[in-house]
Structure 1
Amino acid sequence: MNFSDKLFCPDLRVKTLLDISWDVFVNNDLKGLLLDIDNTLLPWGEGQVPNDIRTWLQGAKEQGMHLCLVSNSYERRVAEIARSIDVNYVHWARKPAKYGFRKAIREMNLLPQNVAVIGDQVFTDICGGNRLGCYTILVVPLSKSEFFTTKLLRLLESRLLSRLEEKGLLTKLD
């Protein structure tokens, strides 16, 4: 695996957060989750976390997982969502920079190798998590709605994911 493959290849790819088996966390000694918001926990532009996602997050907390939202969005929005699901947060995280991820991991008092980053974007969530040595999980975006620049990045992302699949580094989703 070359450098760019290591940087952009998630450890796991699933359709939604709900498809992640608890065995993944146990088998990889994961104790914390850094979660993206838009198109990972809720559709882009919406403010309410769906009930099935809330239930999953509550289950993670009951299993002893530390949870933190890590978002490039502004504080008021991130804080409202974090409060609604009773988790900590880092806003203006500057993903894929290490800043926001490091801050969240430090607040959890964990090591990067014991933390999973879950998000819908390769160039922000997965790249940022891989740069720190976190376990990375890519989910399919919950909505087609997003910023214009994100739509452009999706084209590059699609080609990159296809290349990783062709190399046998990533399992193709149905």
Structure 2
Amino acid sequence: MNKLVPRMQAKTVYDIDLNALRKAGIRGVITDLDNTLVGAKEPVATPELIKWLSGVREAGFQVVIVSNNSKERVSKFAEPLTIPFIYSARKPMNIAFRKAMGMMGLAPNQTAVVGDQMLTDVLGGNRMGLFTIMVQPIALKDEGFFTKINRTIEKAALTFMKK
């Protein structure tokens, strides 16, 4: 399998079929933060996201936020929601994915990764044998320099893969 291709795609996290994940044996969700759960400049969860995250937990899934962003950014978002998190994750490197699975006590075949970037979330998850789900980014205009570079590379990769 191409390491840049997600197992599932969804427009937003709200469009992810949790029943299908459960049937596939998934018990935990590692999720990116910026442009996956909220826009890159949004400091806190929206009421809609709070409701969705509550539903994910009620459905029996564990959730860990894994972000390449700073401790300040990620903790201000995750702590009010009582969601465990890993900051400065250095995705697509394996260490943060392994740590998140350890926090949940789950194996790779029980874990999904949700994110908006092929080169960090999808590549990192696929390299670990996780169930990868790619969502469309929420707010492209607020992205940082390196994310914009990743988007350019992703666009070229998608064009190449279509050929």
Paired residue secondary structure (1:67): strand
Distance in 2, Cα, partners of 1:33 & 1:162: 29
Equivalent residue, structure 2, for 1:124: 120
2:144 aligned residue (138, 143, 147): 147
Letter in 2 for 1:56: W
Distance in 2, Cα, partners of 1:150 & 1:112: 26
Structure 1 residue 115: Cα displacement = 0.4
Where do residues 10-49 of structure 1 align in structure 2 (5 Å cutoff)? 10-49=6-45
Distance in 2, Cα, partners of 1:91 & 1:49: 17
Paired residue secondary structure (1:33): strand
Where do residues 59-74 of structure 1 align in structure 2 (5 Å cutoff)? 59-74=55-70
Q: TM-score when scaled to structure 1?
A: 0.88
Equivalent residue, structure 2, for 1:159: 156
Letter in 1 for 2:134: L
Equivalent residue, structure 2, for 1:81: 77
Structure 1 residue 82: Cα displacement = 1.0
Q: Which consecutive residues of structure 1, in runs of 5 or more, have no partner in the other structure? A: 168-174
Structure 1 residue 113: Cα displacement = 1.0
Structure 1 residue 96: Cα displacement = 0.4
Runs of 4+ in 1 over 4 A off after TM superposition: none
Structure 1 residue 139: Cα displacement = 0.5
Q: Which consecutive residues of structure 2, in runs of 5 or more, have no partner in the other structure? A: none
Of residues 44-53 and 118-127 in structure 1, the stretch that sits farther from structure 2 once superposed is: 44-53
Cα-to-partner distance string for 1:115-134 (whole Å, 9 max, x where unaligned): 00000010001111111100
Of residues 57-66 and 21-30 in structure 1, the stretch that sits farther from structure 2 once superposed is: 21-30
